[in-house]
Structure 1
Amino acid sequence: MAKLGTIGRSGLLRKPNESMRLVMTTVVGVVFGFFIGISFPTVSITKLHFPSSIISYIEDRNSGVTTQALLNHAWTSAKNQRANSSGLDSSDSLKIYVPTNPKGAERLPPGIVVSESDFYQRRLWGDPSEDLPFKQKYLVTFTVGYDQKNNINAAVQKFSENFTILLFHYDGRTSEWDEFEWSKRAIHVSVRKQTKWWYAKRFLHPDIVAPYDYIFIWDEDLGVEHFNAEEYIKLVKKHGLEISQPGLEPNRGLTWQMTKRRGDREVHKETEERPGWCSDPHLPPCAAFVEIMATVFSRDAWRCVWHMIQNDLVHGWGLDFALRRCVEPAHEKIGVVDSQWIVHQVVPSLGNQGKAENGKAPWEGVRERCRKEWGMFQTRMADAEKAYYKKMGITPPNTTVV
């Protein structure tokens, strides 16, 4: 009986303890739930996507996953979801658009934009930073046919290693030029039956030739016995010429008075022509004028001239009268270098690339187009100026086209 009594008392005492434990568990659960709630103030329970492993835990309490692990995983998932939502909300603000970038490159970060190029030749191996131990400062181009190879070879010898050599081949013959050592380092562009201004418009974009201080755009029939390119550059810089040409031997062929060599000076910038030819002594053909056979441009002047070259008018006639529009004051920045002079040999090589039609020789058709293009160019320039002045509400000057 004593034992039974003892057992009875123990059973009676155990019930209050279990009640107290239940109360404490409930309180702890409520407090714990409160802290869980304030830990996720912005996360809806419907937005918490629990992975299948957690769902499996809920379904199988014997999986061994602790409550802390469950909470950690839930918290990480919530943070990731908020980050993803934030990224989606701000995606527009992260898009790159830089209106000051070159046209078409507005969506690139400015630091990656390379808007200019060059004719420097690169290696297929090694470190790119070591490709160019020496960079040429000037560019000379010749529009050539293979029949004039000896003349071009002589001309190239007058240009130092400071010059990049670029040949435009109108006859399609390029590999034969490798008999000259310098040709193996030159740039060759071959398109049949085209003129130098056609090539220039397509291959001498200002952003391509930007590394060069001066650009020589020359014909193939020039005698250079009395010419040195480095000395020429010195005189161009000394006299502030942005557009220039070497003086022409006055006793060879027809030429303007302005471009004839004078033996008593380094440079001249003006001349006297026939009576009535120069209404203004500062305008062509008495000043601000050079011919297009052996023209030399500064980098800045060429940027303007390139834009003035018409895409379909390939002979360039009339262009020499309009070059003055690209420098200011033109009568001071356009001139002829007398002490470095050349001979125009007047070889009709390109003219012979024409086509005989209607009983006319090939060269006759070429010359006819030259004259036609001159008139077309003058008309376009006059119309463009009139349209500009009209748009601006300005009375145009009396002389807009020469």
Structure 2
Amino acid sequence: MNLSRMGIFTRSTGSRKPNESMRSIVTTFVGVFFGFLVGVSFPTLSLTKFSLSSDVLTTIDFKYTEYTKSSLSSPTPLQHLLGNNSSVNATSKKIWVPSNPRGAERLPPGIVRAETDLYLRRLWGKPNEDLTSTPKYLVTFTVGYNQRKNIDAAVKKFSGNFTILLFHYDGRTTEWDEFDWSKEAIHVSVRRQTKWWYAKRFLHPDIVAPYDYIFIWDEDLGVEHFNAEKYIKLVRKHGLEISQPGLEPRKGLTWQMTKRRGDREVHKETEEKPGRCNHPHVPPCAAFVEIMAPVFSRDAWRCVWHMIQNDLVHGWGLDFALRKCVEPAHEKIGVIDAQWIVHQSVPSLGSQGESENGKAPWKGVKERCKKEWSLFQTRFSRAEKAYFKSLNNTSH
């Protein structure tokens, strides 16, 4: 009995295996076919547009715009969103534009914006309606709050054609809102730095590109006899790329070149003490302005910015090298006598120093200034020699 049952069990198991395998194959085929029919029966799922809701913003729409491809086939929107590089790269050409700015070679030229500006924009409305005016000039002052009255008087000499930018070395910014113009000005606050430190980091030529002229001024300038619009007219009239207002001395002058002359609009050369000038067309007898109140054209500033050294923050020696940025320098660098200022010589930078080895803070600052002048001259001289040496090696 047991053997017959076992025999029956054995036979029945063997007879069902082929039938079950065939049934599984048929079931799988029917499932795949049914899935295909369901898929083609519904509209294609589009991920090109979807919305997110939050408590803060009711609805934010994200739209993905497909760009035209040169190949015959293109990846689906899902592949674009998921970044399926294998299919995208296989069906499209890579972008490489050497003429784009460095680092942007992979971008299509039409999207590249190499320059920007300092114009203030709204957080609402249409972008093309943000700006009711676009100032043509930029003036910067490096300031401490103690000089606020002097800066207020200076800013009022600059019309609405100027963007006002204040660099704060004492960290005090909100207090300046006592002046109405301050609310429209740009404020950059970094403690204990000089205007050349700020200029190197915040006035890149591609940032200030919209401005025809850039004023980079100290905070201790008397401007009673100065009008910015008239100054610009004279700069244009005389073709100056680098300039400054004439100085009316109260406590003496460092250089004769920057002294105001009452009998003319502009001067471009002077006579100095014997031995100071080895040629009448070189500083300090010509092609020279001081660093307290320089004014640069857009093109001149692009060159000067590259010449400013990151670690030499006082700018001493820079005024003797400005002539390298324009040609001919003795014709394109000058002093505007008809619009003049007074250097009040407020020792604000000295108070930002620290006492070392028993020395007063201002003494350490002055020593640093002198060291920087020597370092800058040495660097420039070595750079020029290395360049001309490389030219000679190439020619042989």
What does 1:175-214 correspond to in 2, within 5 Å? 175-214=174-213
What does 1:166-245 correspond to in 2, within 5 Å? 166-245=165-244
- 3-state SS, counterpart of residue 122 of structure 1: coil
- 3-state SS, counterpart of residue 393 of structure 1: helix
Q: Which residue of 2 aligns with 1:398?
A: none
Name structure 2 gaps, 5 residues minimum. Answer: 1-25, 41-71, 76-85
The answer as to whether partners of 1:248 and 1:341 remain within 8 angstroms in 2 is: yes
The answer as to whether partners of 2:253 and 2:259 remain within 8 angstroms in 1 is: no
Q: Which residue of 2 aligns with 1:147?
A: 146
Q: Which residue of 1 aligns with 2:294?
A: 295
Q: Which residue of 1 aligns with 2:352?
A: 353
Distance, in Å, in 2 between the alignment partners of 1:239 and 1:272 is: 21
- The structure having more radius of gyration, on CA atoms, is 1
Q: CA deviation at 1:83?
A: 4.6
Q: CA deviation at 1:56?
A: 3.8
Q: CA deviation at 1:169?
A: 0.2
Q: CA deviation at 1:90?
A: 7.0
- 3-state SS, counterpart of residue 338 of structure 1: strand
Q: Which residue of 2 aligns with 1:366?
A: 365
Distance of aligned partners of 1:276 and 1:108 in 2 relative to their CA distance in 1, 3 Å threshold = same
Q: TM (normalized to structure 1)?
A: 0.77
One-letter identity of the residue aligned with 1:193: R
Q: CA deviation at 1:251?
A: 4.0
Distance, in Å, in 2 between the alignment partners of 1:193 and 1:203 is: 16
Distance of aligned partners of 1:283 and 1:129 in 2 relative to their CA distance in 1, 3 Å threshold = same
Q: Which residue of 2 aligns with 1:156?
A: 155
Distance of aligned partners of 1:151 and 1:95 in 2 relative to their CA distance in 1, 3 Å threshold = same
Distance, in Å, in 1 between the alignment partners of 2:148 and 2:110 is: 45
Distance, in Å, in 2 between the alignment partners of 1:291 and 1:220 is: 15
The answer as to whether partners of 2:284 and 2:320 remain within 8 angstroms in 1 is: yes
Q: CA deviation at 1:254?
A: 2.6
The answer as to whether partners of 2:74 and 2:91 remain within 8 angstroms in 1 is: no
Name structure 1 gaps, 5 residues minimum. Answer: 1-51, 70-81, 396-402
Q: Give per-residue Cα distances to partners, 1:23-53, cap 9 Å, x unaligned.
A: xxxxxxxxxxxxxxxxxxxxxxxxxxxxx99
Distance, in Å, in 1 between the alignment partners of 2:316 and 2:302 is: 19
Q: Which residue of 2 aligns with 1:275?
A: 274
- 3-state SS, counterpart of residue 294 of structure 2: strand
Q: Which residue of 2 aligns with 1:104?
A: 103
What does 1:3-402 correspond to in 2, within 5 Å? 55-56=29-30, 83=73, 91=90, 94-393=93-392
Distance of aligned partners of 1:57 and 1:369 in 2 relative to their CA distance in 1, 3 Å threshold = closer
Q: CA deviation at 1:227?
A: 0.1
Q: Give per-residue Cα distances to partners, 1:176-220, cap 9 Å, x unaligned.
A: 000000000000000000000000000000000000000000000
Q: Give per-residue Cα distances to partners, 1:26-85, cap 9 Å, x unaligned.
A: xxxxxxxxxxxxxxxxxxxxxxxxxx999549999xxxx9xxx9xxxxxxxxxxxx9579
Distance, in Å, in 1 between the alignment partners of 2:31 and 2:186 is: 73
Distance, in Å, in 2 between the alignment partners of 1:53 and 1:149 is: 87
Distance, in Å, in 1 between the alignment partners of 2:303 and 2:231 is: 22
Q: How many residues align?
A: 324
Distance, in Å, in 1 between the alignment partners of 2:352 and 2:314 is: 13
The answer as to whether partners of 1:253 and 1:344 remain within 8 angstroms in 2 is: no
Distance of aligned partners of 1:53 and 1:97 in 2 relative to their CA distance in 1, 3 Å threshold = farther
- 3-state SS, counterpart of residue 187 of structure 2: strand
Distance of aligned partners of 1:251 and 1:317 in 2 relative to their CA distance in 1, 3 Å threshold = same
Distance, in Å, in 2 between the alignment partners of 1:391 and 1:307 is: 21
Distance of aligned partners of 1:167 and 1:89 in 2 relative to their CA distance in 1, 3 Å threshold = closer
Distance, in Å, in 2 between the alignment partners of 1:394 and 1:343 is: 50
- Please identify runs of 4+ aligned residues in structure 1 that moved more than 2 A: 52-60, 82-85, 87-93, 250-255
- 3-state SS, counterpart of residue 258 of structure 1: helix
- 3-state SS, counterpart of residue 256 of structure 2: coil
The answer as to whether partners of 1:100 and 1:106 remain within 8 angstroms in 2 is: yes
The answer as to whether partners of 2:73 and 2:91 remain within 8 angstroms in 1 is: no
Distance, in Å, in 1 between the alignment partners of 2:284 and 2:102 is: 38
Distance of aligned partners of 1:57 and 1:146 in 2 relative to their CA distance in 1, 3 Å threshold = closer
One-letter identity of the residue aligned with 2:266: V
Distance, in Å, in 2 between the alignment partners of 1:360 and 1:92 is: 71
One-letter identity of the residue aligned with 1:271: T
Distance of aligned partners of 1:93 and 1:367 in 2 relative to their CA distance in 1, 3 Å threshold = same
Distance, in Å, in 2 between the alignment partners of 1:136 and 1:292 is: 24
Distance, in Å, in 2 between the alignment partners of 1:92 and 1:302 is: 45
Q: Give per-residue Cα distances to partners, 1:205-261, cap 9 Å, x unaligned.
A: 000000000000000000000000000000000000000000000344332000000
- 3-state SS, counterpart of residue 257 of structure 2: coil
One-letter identity of the residue aligned with 1:134: S
One-letter identity of the residue aligned with 1:192: R
The answer as to whether partners of 2:249 and 2:343 remain within 8 angstroms in 1 is: no
Q: Give per-residue Cα distances to partners, 1:323-377, cap 9 Å, x unaligned.
A: 0000000000000000000000000011111001111100000000000000000
Q: Which residue of 2 aligns with 1:10?
A: none
- 3-state SS, counterpart of residue 281 of structure 2: coil
Distance of aligned partners of 1:323 and 1:88 in 2 relative to their CA distance in 1, 3 Å threshold = same
Distance, in Å, in 1 between the alignment partners of 2:27 and 2:283 is: 88
Q: TM (normalized to structure 2)?
A: 0.78
